[in-house]
Chain A
Amino acid sequence: MATTTSRRAAYEQKRKRRSIAVATVSSLIVVAAIVLLVPKMPRWDRVRHSFFNGERFWDSMPRLLHAFVLDVKIFAWCAPLILILAMLVAMARNSRSSALFPLRALTIAYTDIMRGVPVILWIYLIGFGVPGLGMDRPWNSPLIWGSVALVLTYASYVAEVFRAGIESVHESQRAAARSLGLSNWQTMRFVVIPQAVRRVVPPLMNDLVSLQKDVALVSLIGPIEILRQAGIDKSKFANFTPFIGAAVIFLCITIPLTRTTDYLVERERRRTTGTRVR
């Protein structure tokens, strides 16, 4: 046909304009409600002074950022260790050889025990307990043992995520790989794990974002990272604004992190799939 816009394109354009309008109006209403109603609360002035104090915010920001470097460091060395350990545990748990039965039993006990106790408790137990054995520097550092506690607990969560991914790959994929003469290990390495990992990227990111936040728990056994620095500033100036500063810093990391992975997952999906149901 010689028309410039097809009937469907026109319809979709109209529908898109409408949903943008609805989204804009509803967002404005919510924002307006917050901006107009919250200041009407009886204690708003005090809250604004102690939580949203611009001067305190900018004053503590450099110290917070400086302390945040430690959080990033802890995350940076824990995350790869967690992924490696979790993958090993998931693979051991999925192994089929009967000779590996003791290993399977061990990994089940490990995940059950680590997941059954709050992270904070493991950080206390390992972070205070092991340095108490009186090892020489640097092996008595709470920073090391706090990180170990994080790695051990998070690896047990992530191992379950990987396990679900591995189990979701259909048996026929393994059969095809084996029929081509691939070994058990090659089948895992080239066929099962790549598909498993692609499927679990969203829950995996969920755990990594949690980790980025839970790194702050290590502060409870000593190291001065951002949460502890915020606490110090709070006490010094009797003002809670440093905590808001810390929250903002966390968001600046976690939001781009999740958006980027969503984008990458979507790009991969587009690359490998054909037509898509709307």
Chain B
Amino acid sequence: MSNIKLSLRGLSKSYGNNTVLQNITLDIAEGSVVTLIGPSGSGKSTLLRCLNLLEPIDDGAIFLDDIDISVPGLDANPIRRRIGMVFQNFNLFPHMSVMENIILSPTRTLGIDKSIARAKAIELLERFGLGDKAHSYPDQLSGGQQQRVAIVRALAIEPEVLLLDEITSSLDPELVGEVLDVVRELKAAGMTLVLATHEMGFARDTSDVVCVLDGGHIIEQGPPSQVFTAPQSERAQQFLQSIINSGRL
């Protein structure tokens, strides 16, 4: 059994009286790929935002390497540098070139020398087939390229965990593959990944653990072979059936 990297203990979150996450308990092993699936509005994005400390949680706790990172008032910035996040709409900074996007955080928050940060950025860009794009601006790139840049930007601060929130949902179908390839490569390199996705085939083939969310609850959790073929709960069966019917699996 490998180390537990992230551990969520009875996590709850509501907006006003709308309870969005309820009693979420989940262990994420170092180097594993945990996939969140579930209908729209089930709380996948909110859960990822909570893990990145972009949203405060109401109850429960989040442990990173056995340290409680959900203590109110904790300085979140150093922790966010250990837990990277990539968003559905890329969220690149449009006024900065690809290179500037990537080296912003390393140079400003980690105090890394500019020339060193640049060299490392070039290395990452080349690794993901973007070697010639360092001086382009985000608006001059395709969606798939922008998303790969966003991944490189998150990797440049060398996070221990990477959160990916539906990173292929804004892409044209023919561009989805190039981004999923990047995720597969990250898995192969041993990165701990937590991702929300609607790409069911990808979830089945790549995940170590699949969690089905519905109405803020984890209604099913286990290895993909079990979740996709023999779900226990009735809601999970319905959800998977609807996916199969719509031809997405």
> Interface on A for B, CB 8 Å cutoff?
172-173, 175-183, 186, 190-191, 194-195, 198, 271-274
- B residues in contact with A173, CB < 8 Å: 91, 93
Interface status of B78 (Cβ within 8 A of chain A): yes
Q: How far, in whole Å, are A183 and B92 apart by their CA atoms in the complex?
A: 17
> Interface on B for A, CB 8 Å cutoff?
49, 52, 54, 76-78, 80-81, 84-85, 87, 89, 91-95, 104-105, 108-109, 137, 139-141, 150, 153-154, 157
Q: How far, in whole Å, are A179 and B159 apart by their CA atoms in the complex?
A: 11
Contact with A180, one of B78, B109, B137, B141 (Cβ below 8 angstroms): B109
- B residues in contact with A271, CB < 8 Å: 137
B87, A175: Cβ atoms closer than 8 Å: yes
- B residues in contact with A172, CB < 8 Å: 87, 89, 91
A180, B139: Cβ atoms closer than 8 Å: no
Q: How far is the CB of B88 from chain A (nearest CB, A)?
A: 9
Chain A residue nearest to B110 (CB atoms) is A181
Contact with B157, one of A175, A180, A198 (Cβ below 8 angstroms): A180
Chain B residue nearest to A198 (CB atoms) is B95
- A residues in contact with B76, CB < 8 Å: 178
A274, B140: Cβ atoms closer than 8 Å: yes
Chain A residue nearest to B55 (CB atoms) is A175
Contact with B80, one of A181, A191, A198 (Cβ below 8 angstroms): A181
A195, B95: Cβ atoms closer than 8 Å: yes
Among A179, A181, A194, A195, which residue has the most Cβ atoms of chain B within 10 A? A179
- A residues in contact with B49, CB < 8 Å: 175
A180, B140: Cβ atoms closer than 8 Å: no
A178, B139: Cβ atoms closer than 8 Å: no
B80, A179: Cβ atoms closer than 8 Å: yes
Q: How far, in whole Å, are A190 and B139 apart by their CA atoms in the complex?
A: 18
Interchain residue pairs with CB less than 8 A apart (7): A172-B89, A175-B49, A179-B54, A180-B157, A181-B77, A186-B108, A272-B139
Q: Known: A181-B77, A198-B95, A274-B139. Contact between A175 and B109, CB under 8 A? A: no
- A residues in contact with B109, CB < 8 Å: 180-183, 186
Q: How far, in whole Å, are A274 and B92 apart by their CA atoms in the complex?
A: 15
